[in-house]
């Protein structure tokens, strides 16, 4: 009995396997058809690529739009003129980095952005350098110490700007020194108006109150800081009398005081029916100036002339030395 059942099961399995093989054989695709459809797909893909490349090649040049935001009229016109001269390809193939390099290469440009816009084309947005001081007579310098030539000569020699002078590669150092000195002297209401760094690394500084300071490159910061403290304390009452300070000493400094302007006392002489005229002549500070008053009437009648003696108060420019000094 078991044997008969086993044979029946085997026959059923054989029939099922044969039916499966027949169905698979009916659904299977010949190899030639497979190769045909594969070749057709590859051909269509190549055709699309070729047509796309042709469309990009034949596409019109992309339009370049320059944003005027943040730019003066002169800066905008300068940038637009430079971009109009550039040869660009289509919207998709234009080299944005190349355009960016051209714009950032302009001396007055600080930052630049180049983007693609479906409606406008290639959009260029630039921000100019912000000058805070003059450098020499034909250039400006920004807060980073970068020296540049402005697009408009009207931006040069602005009275509100300090004047920096020195080698171009030393501009960041000069700018940093000026900013530091301004911080130190701000409490006594003094600000740098001119600052020069010579080739021998000597600093010449003139403040807005007329005070001139000269200092060498040895302990420069400490010397300038000490002077600001002295001007705010011990020398505060005589600050306006100081003409210049020389800090090129190891253990002290020298002060040059302003000269007191001569004061000439004159006396007006009055004569009846006559006009009076006083002529004063300055002489040496140790002498007394005399003035003659000549009065002449229209009818040539002479009036007695009188001499007027005047005293002249003068003070020679003196140099006061503070602490023992040893010149370097």
Q: Identify the residue with better confidence: 100 or 328.
A: 100
Question: Does 69 have pLDDT greater than 80?
Answer: yes
Give tens-digit pLDDT for 201-217. 999 999 999 999 999 99
Distance between CA atoms of residues 302 and 309, nearest Å: 22
Nearest CA to 181 out of 165, 196, 192 is that of 192
Q: Which residues contact 254 (CB under 8 A, 6 or more apart)?
A: 245, 246, 319, 320, 321, 322, 325
Question: Is residue 147's pLDDT more than 60?
Answer: yes
- Encoded tokens for 152: 């408009």
Are 112 and 125 a contacting pair, CB within 8 Å?
yes
How far apart are the C-alpha atoms of 200 and 296, rounded to whole Å? 64
Give 42-81 as a DSSP string. HHHHHHHHHHHHHHHHHSPPPPEEE--TT--HHHHHHHHH
Query: How far is residue 111 from each of residues 66, 102, 114, 138, 152, measured CA to CA in Å?
Result: 14, 12, 10, 22, 19
pLDDT over threshold 60, residue 33: yes
178-214: b (≥16 Cβ within 10 Å) or e = beebeebbeebebebbbbebeeeeebebbbeeebebb
Q: What is the DSSP letter of 317?
A: -
Mean of pLDDT values over 143-148: 91
* 237-241 average pLDDT score: 93
Q: Look up the pTM and report it.
A: 0.60
Q: Furthest-apart CA pair in the chain: how many Å?
A: 179
Q: What are phi and psi of 258, to 5 degrees?
A: -65, 145
- pLDDT for the residue numbered 71: 92
35: confidence class by pLDDT, cuts 50, 70, 90: confident
Residue 101 to residue 148: CA distance in whole angstroms: 17
pLDDT at 154: 82
Question: What pLDDT is attached to residue 214?
Answer: 97
Q: What is the pLDDT of residues 246-286, one digit of tens each?
A: 999 988 899 999 986 555 554 444 333 433 333 333 333 33
Q: Check residue 88 and give its pLDDT.
A: 81
pLDDT tens digits, one per residue of 176-196: 999 999 999 999 999 999 999
pLDDT for position 13? 57
In 251-304, which ranges are continuous DSSP H helix?
Answer: none
């Amino acid at each position: 009995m078991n044997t008969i059942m086993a044979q029946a099961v085997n026959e059923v399995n054989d029939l099922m396997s044969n039916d499966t093989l027949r169905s698979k054989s009916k659904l299977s695709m010949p190899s030639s058809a497979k190769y045909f459809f594969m070749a057709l797909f590859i051909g269509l893909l190549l055709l699309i690529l070729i047509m796309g490349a042709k469309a990009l090649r034949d596409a019109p040049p992309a339009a370049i739009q320059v944003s005027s935001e943040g730019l003066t009229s002169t800066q905008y016109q300068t940038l637009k003129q430079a971009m109009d001269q550039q040869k660009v390809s289509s919207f998709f193939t234009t080299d944005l980095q190349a355009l960016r390099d051209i714009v950032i290469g302009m001396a007055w440009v600080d930052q630049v952005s180049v983007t693609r816009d479906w409606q406008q084309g290639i959009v260029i947005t630039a921000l100019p350098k912000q000058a805070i001081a003059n450098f020499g007579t034909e250039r400006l310098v920004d807060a980073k110490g970068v020296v540049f030539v402005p697009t408009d000569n009207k931006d040069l020699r602005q009275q509100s700007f300090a004047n920096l002078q020195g080698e171009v590669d030393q501009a960041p150092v000069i700018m940093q020194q000026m900013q530091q000195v301004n911080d130190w002297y701000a409490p006594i209401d003094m600000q740098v108006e001119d600052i020069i760094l010579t080739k021998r690394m000597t600093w010449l500084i003139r403040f807005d109150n007329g005070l001139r300071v000269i200092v060498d490159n040895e302990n420069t910061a400490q010397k300038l800081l000490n002077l600001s403290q002295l001007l705010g304390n011990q020398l505060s009452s005589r600050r306006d009398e100081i003409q210049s300070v020389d800090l090129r000493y190891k253990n002290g400094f020298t002060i040059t005081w302003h000269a007191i302007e001569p004061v000439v006392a004159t006396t007006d002489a009055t004569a009846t029916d006559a006009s009076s005229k006083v002529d004063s002549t300055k002489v040496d500070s140790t002498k007394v100036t005399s003035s003659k008053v000549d009065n002449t009437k229209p009818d040539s009648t002479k009036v007695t002339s009188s001499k007027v003696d005047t005293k002249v108060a003068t003070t020679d420019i003196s140099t006061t030395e503070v602490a023992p000094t040893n010149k370097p």
